[in-house]
């Protein structure tokens, strides 16, 4: 194998696939990045067996030469060292050559690295991507959907299925749900897919978090492909394979209340800052509890108490307070997470009593719901 590649392209690809590489792998070859040079260009792959990322550098791109493959071939190079080395190479061009016994020479300017490579035949093969069972979505929207749901997955391993996000596709509608059983995030988005196909999968939260880091903020399309036990996200030069979680995701539809007894309409940012201040003292307590009480004149009081430190209290003028008086306690962290995920300047919180789950939603747009369970204190 021998090729000459632009350093920028090399660094970008190696950094992208490194995101899938774990230093704590039980499969020795997975400490490495697979490099495959073909007549079409060079493909880099990193994997921790749950997630695999493949990044390709095509020979030509918009009349510009990215890479010149002198001899095809493949090798596996230690991910950590390889990625640190390529970042610090002195010249804008890099030559990579495999000689005998998987020995690999990385040359750039007057610097030369002789690396001990590993046999690429030992690297696990990624499954072939089947065509047909897929839909397209823009980078932007996919990133927003991830951001608005993934924070609510469970971090406890006691119910593994809850560490993933449930993606349900039915009749051109994608519904994404995450819950750790104390709160729930739900986001819907219309998509275009073969209307006879429906899917119900659970994608590990970690995979979606990595995908979010990998995608650019633009409107380019991402192809999402459903496969046996796997989901694949495919952009122009990137592929992310993630295994799916096995098991049935709980039915959460009955959790979401469809009536309300008290409704608040408020400025998201002002409310967020007030909760943030109250949470400074709440953080000491085990549950990070903040209290909210309706007052007169469209005003609420937000308060928190820590026996050792003191008490915080703040009155906040809202846009609208309607319905029954309410005193309710909840986790400041869950409230802050939910508020940060909402993009609207104004939002509505609908309560059905101090002991029932309440929901945050935008006034005009019903595509997103954040649900939080209160904490009993009164």
Question: Coil, strand, or helix at residue 247?
Answer: coil
By beta-carbon proximity to a second copy, the closer residue of 303 and 350 is 303
Minimum CB separation of residue 102 from a second copy in Å reads: 11
- Give Cβ neighbours of residue 125 (< 8 Å, ≥ 6 apart): none
Minimum CB separation of residue 7 from a second copy in Å reads: 13
Minimum CB separation of residue 53 from a second copy in Å reads: 23
Minimum CB separation of residue 81 from a second copy in Å reads: 5
By beta-carbon proximity to a second copy, the closer residue of 65 and 116 is 116
Instruction: State the Cα–Cα distance between residues 154 and 180, nearest whole angstrom.
Output: 4
Instruction: State the Cα–Cα distance between residues 282 and 13, nearest whole angstrom.
Output: 44
By beta-carbon proximity to a second copy, the closer residue of 110 and 376 is 110
* Cα dihedral 314/315/320/322 (nearest 10): 90
Instruction: State the Cα–Cα distance between residues 14 and 79, nearest whole angstrom.
Output: 8
| Among candidate residues 82, 74, 83, the one with its CA nearest the CA of residue 34 | 74
- Give Cβ neighbours of residue 262 (< 8 Å, ≥ 6 apart): 294, 321, 322, 323, 324, 325, 326, 350, 351, 352
Minimum CB separation of residue 73 from a second copy in Å reads: 18
- Residue linked to tokens 């490099």: 35
378 to 136, 264, 312: CA distances (angstroms): 49, 20, 17
Minimum CB separation of residue 94 from a second copy in Å reads: 13
In the sheet that holds 262-267, the strands lie side by side as 199-204, 164-170, 173-179, 183-190, 368-372, 358-362, 346-351, 262-267, 320-323
By beta-carbon proximity to a second copy, the closer residue of 5 and 281 is 281
Instruction: State the Cα–Cα distance between residues 33 and 54, nearest whole angstrom.
Output: 10
Kindly report the backbone phi and psi dihedral angles of residue 4, in degrees, each rounded to the nearest multiple of 5, phi listed first: -120, 130
By beta-carbon proximity to a second copy, the closer residue of 27 and 65 is 27
Quickly list H helices, the chain.
7-18, 79-87, 139-149, 205-214, 268-282, 332-341
Minimum CB separation of residue 63 from a second copy in Å reads: 32
By beta-carbon proximity to a second copy, the closer residue of 76 and 369 is 76
By beta-carbon proximity to a second copy, the closer residue of 30 and 89 is 89
Q: What is the DSSP letter of 341?
A: H
Q: Which two tokens stand for residue 132?
A: 């047909």
Minimum CB separation of residue 283 from a second copy in Å reads: 9
By beta-carbon proximity to a second copy, the closer residue of 149 and 303 is 303
By beta-carbon proximity to a second copy, the closer residue of 159 and 269 is 269
Minimum CB separation of residue 8 from a second copy in Å reads: 17
User: Computed from CA positions of residues 123, 126, 127, 129, in that sequence, does the dihedral angle turn out positive or negative?
Assistant: negative
Minimum CB separation of residue 1 from a second copy in Å reads: 16
By beta-carbon proximity to a second copy, the closer residue of 130 and 284 is 284
Question: Which residues of the shown chain bind a second copy in the complex (CB under 8 A)?
Answer: 78, 81, 84-85, 88-90, 103-104, 110-116, 273-274, 276-277, 280-281, 308-316
């Amino acid at each position: 194998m021998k090729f000459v590649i632009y350093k920028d392209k090399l660094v970008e690809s190696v950094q992208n696939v490194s995101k899938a590489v774990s230093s704590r792998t039980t499969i020795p070859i997975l400490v490495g990045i697979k490099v495959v040079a073909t007549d079409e260009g060079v493909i880099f792959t990193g994997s921790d067996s749950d997630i695999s990322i493949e990044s390709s550098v095509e020979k030509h791109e918009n009349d510009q030469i990215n890479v010149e493959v002198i001899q095809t071939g493949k090798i596996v190079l230690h991910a950590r060292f390889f990625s640190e080395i390529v970042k610090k190479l002195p010249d804008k061009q890099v030559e990579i050559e495999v000689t005998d016994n998987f020995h690999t020479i990385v040359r750039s300017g007057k610097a030369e690295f002789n690396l001990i490579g590993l046999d690429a035949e030992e690297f696990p093969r990624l499954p072939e991507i089947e065509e047909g069972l897929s839909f397209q979505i823009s980078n932007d929207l996919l990133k927003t959907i991830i951001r608005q749901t993934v924070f609510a997955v469970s971090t406890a391993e006691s119910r593994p299925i809850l560490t993933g996000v449930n993606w349900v596709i039915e009749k051109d509608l994608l519904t994404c749900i995450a819950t750790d059983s104390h709160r729930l995030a739900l986001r819907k988005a219309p998509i275009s897919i073969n209307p006879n196909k429906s899917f119900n999968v659970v994608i590990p939260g970690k995979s979606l978090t990595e995908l979010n880091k990998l995608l650019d903020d633009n409107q380019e399309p991402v192809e999402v492909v459903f496969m046996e036990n796997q989901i694949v996200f495919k952009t122009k030069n990137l592929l992310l394979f993630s295994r799916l979680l096995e098991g049935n995701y709980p039915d959460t539809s009955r959790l979401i209340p469809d009536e309300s007894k008290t409704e608040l309409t408020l400025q998201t940012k002002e409310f967020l800052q007030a909760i943030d201040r109250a949470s400074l003292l709440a953080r000491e307590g085990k549950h990070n509890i903040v209290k909210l009480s309706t007052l007169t004149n469209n005003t609420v009081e937000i308060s928190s108490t820590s026996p050792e430190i003191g008490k915080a209290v703040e009155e906040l003028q809202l846009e609208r307070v309607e319905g029954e008086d309410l005193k309710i306690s909840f986790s400041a962290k869950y409230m802050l997470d939910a508020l940060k995920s909402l993009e609207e300047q104004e939002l509505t919180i609908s309560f059905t009593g101090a002991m029932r789950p309440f929901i945050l939603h935008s006034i005009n747009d019903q595509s997103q719901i954040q649900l939080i369970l209160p904490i009993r204190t009164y």
